[in-house]
Amino acid sequence: MTYCLAIKVNDGIVFASDTRTNAGVDQVSTYSKMYAFGIPGERSFVMLSAGNLATTQAVVNLVERDLAAADPERSLKTVDYMFDAAHYIGKLSCGVQAAHCEPAKEEGIKFDASFILGGQIGDSAPEIYLVYPEGNYIAASPTKPYLQIGETKYGKPILDRIIAGETSLEDAARCALVSLDSTMRSNLSVGPPVEIAIYRNNSLALDTPLTFDTDSPFYQAVQRSWNEGLNRVFDDLPRFDWESALRPVSRSGE
């Protein structure tokens, strides 16, 4: 499995992904699922991928081939809008999935992949899109301005509690890290290192993504701070009425 997310706040976009891939429990590997494309100063894209690794790698190869081509029919260099870019990725993905040998398809084997594509083209507004395996796509909602692919449920509650348009880019990045950490604790198919890229509006360029492995001091500090903090908040939750009545001195000495 995989867990990737993108958060679009007023100041820009945060992209985050795990790096674990698996096909059965004895074929576990580490691959980046975050790809940056663009022309500095003109347009900038980040793509996150989930699903069949052969499909996602083929889509990335095609995106790069079209970018390098002298006169491609369409590429991330030629699209005029972010939704055009999402449409292009969806078309590539469907084409790759349809190209697989017939016997596998007759057996119902799927080569599904999902993508998140975000970025900015010139002076148009930055956007994020989720591209479904079927090739169609949606933008994020203004009130829940994030998109997720892969193993999405474990890490959703913290996003629902924290993320809003006015969240700072750094807070959005921290929230993405916590959301990934919660997912990795509860599900073995999502694993470190974690990659985080921060796109600042109108920069039309991307710094090198941050990589956090389990031994990274910053990631360890966030983990410790979050876990201790949660336990502290939990200990401070209101007591049931019988607890204060029956056990005024110690609630744990029952």
Asked if 11 is part of the footprint of a second copy (rule: CB under 8 A), the reply reads yes
b/e 212-227 (16+ beta carbons within 10 angstroms → b)? beeebeebeebbeebe
Closest to a second copy by CB, 89 vs 175, is 175
| Separation between Cα atoms, residue 89 and residue 67, nearest integer Å | 13
Residue in 17, 55, 114, 183 binding a second copy, rule: CB under 8 A: 183
The edge-to-edge listing of strands for the beta sheet with 34-39 is: 34-39, 43-51, 113-121, 127-131, 137-139
Q: What string of DSSP letters covers 108-130?
A: T----EEEEEEEEETTSPPEEEE
Closest to a second copy by CB, 103 vs 253, is 253
Contact 176, 6 (CB under 8 A): no
Asked if 112 is part of the footprint of a second copy (rule: CB under 8 A), the reply reads no
Asked if 70 is part of the footprint of a second copy (rule: CB under 8 A), the reply reads no
E runs forming strands in 52-202? 113-121, 127-131, 137-139, 146-150, 194-200
Asked if 7 is part of the footprint of a second copy (rule: CB under 8 A), the reply reads no
Asked if 108 is part of the footprint of a second copy (rule: CB under 8 A), the reply reads no
CA triplet 36, 115, 112: central angle to 5 degrees?
135
Extract the tokens encoding 214. 């389990």
State which of positions 212-251 bind a second copy (CB under 8 A). 218, 221-222, 225-227, 229-234, 236-241, 243, 251
Residue in 16, 173, 176, 204 binding a second copy, rule: CB under 8 A: 173
CB of 235 to a second copy, least distance (A): 8
CB of 2 to a second copy, least distance (A): 15
Extract the tokens encoding 170. 């750094």
From the list 225, 232, 156, 160, the residue with the least C-alpha distance to 187 is 156
CA triplet 218, 150, 120: central angle to 5 degrees?
75
Residue in 141, 168, 213, 214 binding a second copy, rule: CB under 8 A: 168
Residue in 171, 202, 205, 216 binding a second copy, rule: CB under 8 A: 171
CB of 208 to a second copy, least distance (A): 13
Binding segment toward a second copy, per CB under 8 A, in 56-64, 90-98, 116-124, 160-168 = 160-168
CB of 225 to a second copy, least distance (A): 5
CB of 233 to a second copy, least distance (A): 3
CB of 69 to a second copy, least distance (A): 37
b/e 129-144 (16+ beta carbons within 10 angstroms → b)? bbbbbebebebbeeee
Which residues of the shown chain bind a second copy in the complex (CB under 8 A)? 11, 153-158, 160-162, 168-171, 173-175, 178, 182-183, 185-187, 210, 218, 221-222, 225-227, 229-234, 236-241, 243, 251-252, 254
